Every structure is written in structure tokens, then in C-alpha cells.
Structure 1
Amino acid sequence: MKRRLPTLPIFLLVMWLSLNDSLAPGQIALGVLFAGLVTLAVAALRPVSAWPRRFDVAVFLFFDVLVDIIRSNIAVGSIIVGASKRQPHIGFMKIPLELRDPHGLAVLAMIITACPGSVWAGYDRESNVLTLHILDLQDEAAWIRTVKQRYERPLMEIFE
């Protein structure tokens, strides 16, 4: 098993000292105590630890998601202000997933929900099928391609 730097307690200690605006020995001792107790308390909430394996893929995924969020904002904005004269085709769709890592699924949920016009509406663990609500569902195949190729594949490289 690889030893990793304990990031949570270090982060909590730094935050404690920053918020108290002091490096006094008493504040450091309280910060260490606080960081240790909180780390122990939340350890039971997170039995499976996540450690991304491919940071280079994560960086590219970040920029892909950023571009998709900007595009989605423009598309939803044009629907709302009426720039598009046609009515949006609101609908639900199901996408079969290969991704099973709980951390990867959580990131996928955040990505999909962060893009305006799409919402993670459900996930069936047994069949591994994702349900999405789409504001303007014109091309279901394009949505499946986007989720599987732009998001799911990189997340599998990162987390599995």
C-alpha cells in the first residue's frame, strides 16, 4: 500500500491557523487537535479512499468541461431570451455506463449538473444506467456520445 500525505488534517490545520490569524503555540496545538478529531470523525463516512491515477487526463477533462459549460450557458441563454424561435424538446434519456467507481460517478454527476440544460435525474446501481433530464433534447445519440466519450472515458482513466 502506498503511503500518501495526509491532506485533510494538513488542510484543516492551515485553515484553522488562517481563520485565527495566529501562529501562537496555543493556536497551533488547538489546530492540530481540531484537525485530528475532524479527520477521525469523517474517516467512517468515507470508507473508500479516492486517489486519481492520471492527473494529466484530469487537467484535459477540466478544460473540456469548462468549454462545455460555456457552450451550454450560451445555448440555454438563447432558449430563455427567445433567440431561438423553436420550442425546446424537453425530455429524459437513459445512458448505460461502464464507470462503476463511486468517486468517478460523483464527479460525473457534478459535471452533468454543472452544465446548464442538463440534470442528473437518477442512477440505477444494478443496471448501471444513468437517467438525464435535458432541456433541449434534439439528438439523443449526441448526448450519449458526449457523456461516454468526453466524460465517462476520461473518468475511468482517472479513477479506475
Structure 2
Amino acid sequence: MTRAFNWLFPHPYLTVLLAVVWILLQGELTAGMAVFGVILGTIIPRATANWWPDRPMGFRLGRMLGYMALVLWDILIANVQVAWIILTRRNSKLRATWVTIPLDLRSPEAITVLAGTITLTPGTVSADLSSDGRSLLVHVLDTPDPDAVRDEIKQRYEARLKEIFV
């Protein structure tokens, strides 16, 4: 049973995501659109499964939902902070800097989520991943302490992603 399920749904969360996105794109929830969304959500991951040989074997959906809530909160707060910087520092210089974040993450999916999180948060941009995948270069709009930024990213985001992608 498990083997057949894994063959049919090699990426079950992707199946659900694709079905939900399909329904949202249609603009209304009907039985036909839901069934078609599930069909698409089943066929697309199955057809592309061969190109995902190193997919994460474990994924904690509950922790990911908590992570998403944290990121949304951080985006909201960072928007206010960046607006404040723009409005109040017209004549003073920003303390922009580059920060190298050493990565403990090894999963490409987890590293992608981390880089996306950093880029989505106003005031920071993920600029480059080292060729060995062990560090991420991040540009910070304004910080007096680059080490504190590095430590915050590692503690606030990377540590949580290590618990999500097992």
C-alpha cells in the first residue's frame, strides 16, 4: 500500500499545492474544478518525479505553517522598518553591507526556502550561493552589526528550516 501510494504521489504536498493553486486560479470552487485540480496535482508530480531524485524524505507540514506565519510577521515588521529608514534618513548614510551566512542546511529545497525568505524580507537580499553550497551571500540595507544579522538569520530561519526539512 505504501509503495503504491509513494509511486502515485511522489510529492504529496506538491499534489495538494497544485490542486489548491488550480482551484484558486479558476476563481470559484466547483466539484469539476476540484477533481481536475487533483488530477493535475497527481499527474504533474508523477511525470516529473524522475528529475527529483534527492527530494527531501521528511517534511513537517505543521512546522512549515508556523515558519510561514513567522516569515509573514517578519515581512510586515521589516516593511515598517525600511519605510522608517527611508523617511527619516534622507541626509544620513545607510550602513549597507554584505554578510556571508555559513550554512548548516544541505537540502537544496531548504536552502532555496532560506534564500527566498531572506529576499522576501524587505531590507535584505540573497545575492549568491557559494559553489559548494555551504554559504549564502546576503546584502543588508542598513545594519550597525553584520554579525548580529548573520546570527539572527541562522537562529530565526535556518534553525527552523533544519527542523522542517529532515
Alpha-carbon shift at residue 71 of structure 1 (Å): 1.8
Question: CA offsets, 1:71-111, max 9 Å, x none?
Answer: 21111112223x13532112211111111111111110111
Match of 1:61 in 2: 67
Alpha-carbon shift at residue 37 of structure 1 (Å): 4.7
The number of equivalent residue pairs is 154
Unaligned runs of 5+ residues in structure 2 are none
Question: Is 1:102 the counterpart of 2:108 in the alignment?
Answer: yes
Q: How does 1:121-132 map to 2 (within 5 A)?
A: 121-126=127-132, 128-132=134-138
- Give the RMSD, CA atoms, in angstroms: 3.3
- 1:48 partner amino acid: D
Match of 1:89 in 2: 95
- 2:160 partner amino acid: P
SS in 1 for 2:127: strand
Which whole-Å CA distance do the structure 2 matches of 1:114 and 1:90 have between them?
A: 17
Which whole-Å CA distance do the structure 2 matches of 1:12 and 1:68 have between them?
A: 26
Unaligned runs of 5+ residues in structure 1 are none
Identify which of 55, 59, 73 aligns with 1:52: 59
Runs of 4+ displaced beyond 6 Å: 30-33
Percent of pairs with identical residues: 31
Question: Is 1:139 the counterpart of 2:139 in the alignment?
Answer: no
Alpha-carbon shift at residue 11 of structure 1 (Å): 6.0
SS in 1 for 2:99: strand
Question: Is 1:114 the counterpart of 2:120 in the alignment?
Answer: yes
Identify which of 42, 65, 78 aligns with 1:72: 78
Question: What TM-score results when the alignment is normalised by the length of structure 2?
Answer: 0.72
Distance 1:139 1:103, change over 3 A: same
- 1:93 partner amino acid: V
Alpha-carbon shift at residue 122 of structure 1 (Å): 0.7
Larger Rg: 1
SS in 1 for 2:104: coil
Larger helix percent: 2
